[in-house]
Amino acid sequence: MSPLIPALLRLLRPHQWLKNGFVFVGLLFGHAWTDPVKLGQALAAFAAFCLLASAVYVMNDLIDREQDRLHPKKKARPLAAGTVSVAAAVVLAAALLLAGGGIAWLWAGSAPWIFLAYVVLNIAYSYRLKHVVILDVFIIASGFMLRILAGTLGLDIAPSQWLLLCGLMLTLFLGFAKRRAELKALLEESAGHRRVLEHYTAPMLDQFIGIAAAGTVISYALYTVSAETVALHGTRGLIATVPFVLYGMLRYLWRLHTRGGGGDPAQDLLSDPHLLAATAGWLLLVLALLGGVTMP
């Protein structure tokens, strides 16, 4: 097999497709997982975001290839290392955009504008907004929120305001943790890789992370006990899922501060058995409760 194929696959960052699982939140909490039409639309939305996100990753690597060569880990990326040419990367990004846009337009629900907004937002981020302190993380969070909207509004499922708030807080938590990990890894050379890191300090980011983490747990807990939630799902038991959320976030913070984690949430989840167990436990309990299992 040509060595170019593995390099191109690495450029796509398929492990990051895990983030596109946010599109299934609407199916889960909207009791729509048994609707074959909505399920098909959600799967199409997932596929479209996988292709579009990979196109964005290729574009980012093209723009940042010189800065990535200064990063202790990112210097091994295909474009930074020179294993994929600029021309090949441009062709790949264009093909991914066309394929992802086609799926979004034809099969991924009734709101193709969400996918367009995702691409436009990421282009703006890549060329300008990633250099604007604090706003850079809000733009990252917006990409996740668009995934949630594609799986709710795009499928004609009304999203819960509490879940939207929880999603925003969670993605801000992950975004600021990513900046904290980058700052820790790069130390004095951080500004040479990502200019916006010049405007962050470790104590400042720790405060931002603490606010976002608290907001995530509180908003999710309030969602589980709200009268609207109890009426919709017919159970008061969702409060029992809060410990899984709290444990997962505390474990993530532990990895950030002691194991060099936080820079890649998807990789952290896939490589840490505690995070995997917390996620699996939360999902299984949610499915059981929404499926009619009653708590003692």
The two three-digit tokens of residue 76, written as one number? 């091994």
Q: What digits encode the pLDDT tens for the residues 235-290?
A: 899 999 999 999 999 999 999 998 888 788 888 888 999 999 999 999 999 999 98
* Element at 7 (helix H, strand E): helix 4-12
Exposure string of 99-136, with b = 16+ CB inside 10 Å and e = fewer, is bbbebbeeebbebbebbebbbebbeebbeebbeeebeb
**pLDDT value, residue 68:** 76
Distance (Å, whole) CA 197 – CA 192: 9
Instruction: Give the per-residue pLDDT at 93.
Output: 92
For the stretch 255-269, pLDDT in tens is 999 888 878 888 888
Range 225-230 average pLDDT: 90
With 0-12 / 13-18 / 19 or more C-beta atoms within 10 angstroms meaning exposed / middle / buried, residue 203 is: exposed
Name 5's Cβ contacts closer than 8 Å, sequence gap at least 6.
Answer: none
Q: Which residues contact 158 (CB under 8 A, 6 or more apart)?
A: 30, 152
Q: What CA–CA distances, in Å, run from 290 to 24, 41, 141, 201? A: 15, 21, 27, 43
Nearest to 91 by CA among 18, 14, 4: 4
* pLDDT attached to residue 83: 84
Average pLDDT over residues 176-205: 78
Cβ(268)–Cβ(261) below 8 Å: yes
Domain ranges of the chain: 1-159, 160-296
pLDDT reported for residue 210: 95
| Confidence tier at 190 by pLDDT (50, 70, 90) | very low
Which residue did the predictor score with more confidence, 77 or 18? 18
Is residue 192 scored above 60 in pLDDT?
no
Q: What percent of the chain has pLDDT over 70?
A: 94
Give me the CATH topology for the region 1-159: Tetracycline Repressor; domain 2 (1.10.357)
Tens of pLDDT, residue by residue over 56-95, are: 999 888 888 877 777 767 777 887 777 888 888 899 999 9
pTM of the shown model: 0.89
Q: Residue 124: phi, psi to the nearest 5?
A: -60, -40
Which of 257, 285, 255, 284 has the alpha carbon at shortest distance from 270? 255
In this predicted structure, the answer to whether residue 1 has a pLDDT above a threshold of 60 is no
